[in-house]
């Protein structure tokens, strides 16, 4: 009986010793290390933003996105507008307005609230555009190219546009 009590006591002491020495597994944390935030840089690349010929009755908007970590995005391109058909009359009668807007400005424009644009050209039928966009930092940023008829005319216009952005 004494041997049995000694054996039970030894098992209990072993169990207590093992349970007091064991460490629980570390709880995973949601902390993101700075090295986990590193993303490929778009520097040295370019993308086509708009390469299209389209009819313009009132206005047309073309969204594009600058990827995260673009430190010096540069938009460049050209547009030409024609009266009625492509390569038709391209003079003051085919003038249009051109705007570059961010999301907030474009939302204000859609809601018919007064808004500004990052860049604008008024009453032009042929224009080269070179514009440095703000750096995108850690998040992609959306912008809009807006083409609109300069005056409410019954004649539709055709716009030929070619824009790229370099990073």
Against a cut of 0.85, is the pTM above it?
A: no
CB–CB of 106/59 below 8 Å?
no
- What domains can you pick out in the chain, each with its CATH number? 47-166 (2.60.120.680)
pLDDT < 70: residue spans in the chain: 1-44, 152-154
pLDDT at 120: 96
pLDDT at 146: 97
pLDDT at 50: 97
C-alpha distances in Å from residue 17, one per residue of 20, 21, 60, 156: 5, 6, 76, 88
pLDDT at 2: 57
If you ran DSSP here, which 8-state letter would residue 110 be given?
H
């Amino acid at each position: 009986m004494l041997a049995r009590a000694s054996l039970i006591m030894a098992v209990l002491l072993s169990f207590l010793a093992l349970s007091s020495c064991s460490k629980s597994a570390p709880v995973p944390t949601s902390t993101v290390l700075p090295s986990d935030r590193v993303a490929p840089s778009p520097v040295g690349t370019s993308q086509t933003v708009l390469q299209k010929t389209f009819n313009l009755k009132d206005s047309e908007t073309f969204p594009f996105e600058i990827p995260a970590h673009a430190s010096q995005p540069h938009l460049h391109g050209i547009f030409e507008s024609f009266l009625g058909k492509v390569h038709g009359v391209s003079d003051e009668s085919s003038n249009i307005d051109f705007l570059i807007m961010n999301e907030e400005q474009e939302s204000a424009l859609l809601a018919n609230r007064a808004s500004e644009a990052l860049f604008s050209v008024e009453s032009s039928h042929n224009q080269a555009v070179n514009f440095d966009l703000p750096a995108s930092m850690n998040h992609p940023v959306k912008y809009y190219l807006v083409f609109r008829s300069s005056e409410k005319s019954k004649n539709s216009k055709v716009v030929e546009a070619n824009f790229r952005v370099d990073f």
